């Protein structure tokens, strides 16, 4: 990819696509991670002599034009505090003539944040006319929104066709980090895949299984595999339409796949449910598995010991409930304790899990990408990444 070192920004206005799709409650940003993640690119552009930096992002899923609850206005003061300088918020439609005039009037050195790009008709359809109107706002374009890089949208790949462009620091870091999982990873290479559904992670599982030494399956998806083996799973979540696929994967890669041997079963889906430790393939009728059991936790920790490359996506249980967070926390600790290993955490729930466990600063890379991370690891080409080549 073309990076910031290849882009001449001296004295130029630079349009930067960031990912400020952050959680907001009652008009207050609840998690500033994505805002602070954009700072290295902003500061690099300032150091390279950019005249102005104009930031653009989506926020939420507005249906028909502007909606106050999806305004990026709450993000501006957060960015201003993090950056340590004034940030001008421009509340009009990002592609309007009024916004263009406001951008052109910015004093040298100013940083501006546009309103939600999804307020402009045609953004998610990659409308060429909209891409052209966005391009009027800058002399050069930088894509730093890895979390949106899998979208062929006007503000992601469309505007890149209109202006000199490069990947920002965050995008470059994400692509480099995840590519290491696909291209000659150091061995032993262990992947942990959790979450509720096999169907959600199917392409990642199929693309990574030939490359890994072990794959540890956890979370709700494990019960589809266990049922495919003839196990009794009680009321545990599973996908009957994926049983054939699970059987095929077990036949082809049974020597690599590890499944839970015991689980924490509950009599209902609630934090205060009655629980018991049972064999993963002998869950009583009326009970459901909500977490990995102690034997499974030890076995998975043993499987991780000595690994040199690790990727983890998805929790091993219903970690939102403290009573069923033990398996996920055990994996977080096991991954964090690895010495000399390259460890990557990807996906929203596993990122939350590693941070909740207090182990986030002990892994090599935490991906901000969610869907983009998974699509890259599925072997797909991401429109935003391809536009930066």
**Residue 348 is among the residues annotated as catalytic for this protein:** yes
Closest residue by Cα to residue 197 from 100, 327, 314:
314
Closest residue by Cα to residue 52 from 93, 92, 100:
100
Q: What is the pLDDT of residues 174-200, one digit of tens each?
A: 999 999 999 989 999 999 999 888 898
pLDDT in the model for residue 348: 64
DSSP state of 55: E
Q: Is 349 among the annotated ligand-binding positions?
A: yes
Q: How far apart are CA 148 and CA 368, in angstroms?
A: 10
Catalytic residue among 197, 203, 298, 362: 197
Catalytic residue among 203, 348, 360, 362: 348
- How many CA atoms within 13 Å lie on the side-chain side of 180? 20
pLDDT (tens place) for every residue of the chain, 389 residues total: 999 999 999 999 999 999 999 889 899 998 888 899 999 999 999 999 999 999 999 999 998 899 999 999 999 999 999 999 999 999 999 999 999 999 999 999 999 999 999 999 999 999 999 999 999 999 999 999 998 999 999 999 999 999 999 999 999 999 999 999 999 899 999 999 998 888 988 899 999 999 999 999 999 999 999 999 999 999 999 999 999 999 999 999 999 999 999 999 999 999 999 999 999 999 999 999 999 999 999 999 999 999 999 999 999 999 889 999 999 999 999 999 999 999 999 866 777 778 777 888 889 998 878 788 888 998 899 999 999 98
Closest residue by Cα to residue 60 from 156, 171, 148:
148
Residue 342 backbone class (left: φ over 0; alpha: ψ -120 to 50; beta: rest): beta
pLDDT in the model for residue 355: 78
pLDDT in the model for residue 33: 84
**Residue 49 is among the residues annotated as catalytic for this protein:** no
Q: Is 168 among the annotated ligand-binding positions?
A: no
**Residue 371 is among the residues annotated as catalytic for this protein:** yes
Q: Is 211 among the annotated ligand-binding positions?
A: no
Q: Is 379 among the annotated ligand-binding positions?
A: no
Q: Is 347 among the annotated ligand-binding positions?
A: yes
* 3-state DSSP assignment of residue 223: helix
Q: What is the pLDDT of residues 283-293, one digit of tens each?
A: 999 999 999 99
Q: How many CB atoms lie within 10 A of CB 169?
A: 20
Catalytic residue among 34, 133, 227, 297: 34
**Residue 231 is among the residues annotated as catalytic for this protein:** no
* 3-state DSSP assignment of residue 365: strand
């Amino acid at each position: 990819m073309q990076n910031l070192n290849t882009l001449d920004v001296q004295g130029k206005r630079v349009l930067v696509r960031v990912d400020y799709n952050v959680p907001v409650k009652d008009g207050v940003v609840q998690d500033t991670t994505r805002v602070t993640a954009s700072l290295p690119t902003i500061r690099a552009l300032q150091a390279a002599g950019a005249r102005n930096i104009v930031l653009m992002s989506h926020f939420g899923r507005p249906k028909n034009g502007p909606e106050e609850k999806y305004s990026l206005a709450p993000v501006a003061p957060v960015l201003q505090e993090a950056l340590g300088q004034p940030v001008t918020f421009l509340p009009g439609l990002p592609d309007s003539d009024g916004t263009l005039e406001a951008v052109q009037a910015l004093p040298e050195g100013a940083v501006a944040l546009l309103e939600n790009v999804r307020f402009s008709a045609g953004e998610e359809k990659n409308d060429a006319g909209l891409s052209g109107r966005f391009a009027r706002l800058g002399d050069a374009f930088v894509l730093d929104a890895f979390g949106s890089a899998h979208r062929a949208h006007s503000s992601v790949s469309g505007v890149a066709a209109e202006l000199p462009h490069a990947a920002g620091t965050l995008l470059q870091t994400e692509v480099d980090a995840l590519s290491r999982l696909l291209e000659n990873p150091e061995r032993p290479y262990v992947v942990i895949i959790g979450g509720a559904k096999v169907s959600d992670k199917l392409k990642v599982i199929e693309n990574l299984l030939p490359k890994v030494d072990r794959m540890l399956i956890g979370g709700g998806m494990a019960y589809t595999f266990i049922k495919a083996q003839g196990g009794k799973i009680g009321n545990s979540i599973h996908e009957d339409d994926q049983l054939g696929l699970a059987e095929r994967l077990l036949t082809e890669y049974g020597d690599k796949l590890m499944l839970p041997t015991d689980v924490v079963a509950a009599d209902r889906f609630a934090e205060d449910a009655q629980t018991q430790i049972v064999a993963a393939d002998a869950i009583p009728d009326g009970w459901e598995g909500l977490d990995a059991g102690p034997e499974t936790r030890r076995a998975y920790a043993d499987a991780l010991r000595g690994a040199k490359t690790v990727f983890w996506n998805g929790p091993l249980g219903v970690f939102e409930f403290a009573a069923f967070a033990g398996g996920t926390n055990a994996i977080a600790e096991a991954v964090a304790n690895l010495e000399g290993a390259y460890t990557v955490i990807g996906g929203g729930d596993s990122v939350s899990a590693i941070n909740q466990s207090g182990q986030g600063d002990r892994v090599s890379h935490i991906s901000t990408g969610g869907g983009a991370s998974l699509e890259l690891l599925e072997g797909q080409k991401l429109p935003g990444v391809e536009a930066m080549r």
